[in-house]
Amino acid sequence: MKDVKNTHDRFSRAETPPSEAAWNLPINVREAARFLGVSQQTVYLWVERKQIPHLRVMGRNIRFLRSDLEPFRAQFKHEVANGKTA
């Protein structure tokens, strides 16, 4: 029987997906928040402030590419380590 538990969240773990194609599949706000280690509310705030690279799909739907989020995550972790976040 198929494990249904993880089918809704393709990228719940921070490991690199097995293929380059999977790396560039759009992910939703929940998956991006988990990838970045922040809340969904924080991701929405960053989108509103245009602080995070994102895509708008059909007007309201927000998607992200992990390949775009990786440099953002590295910069964010660097700022947190240096105490530069507000």
3-state secondary structure 9-48: CCCCCCCCCCCHHHHCCEECHHHHHHHHCCCHHHHHHHHH
Per-residue pLDDT, 69:
94
Question: Residue 39: is its pLDDT beyond 70?
Answer: yes
Per-residue pLDDT, 4:
46
Note the CATH number of domain 25-81: 1.10.1660.10
Question: Residue 12: is its pLDDT beyond 80?
Answer: no
User: Percentage of the chain with pLDDT > 70?
Assistant: 70
**Could you give the C-alpha distances from 36 to 3, 49, 68, in angstroms and in order?**
25, 17, 12
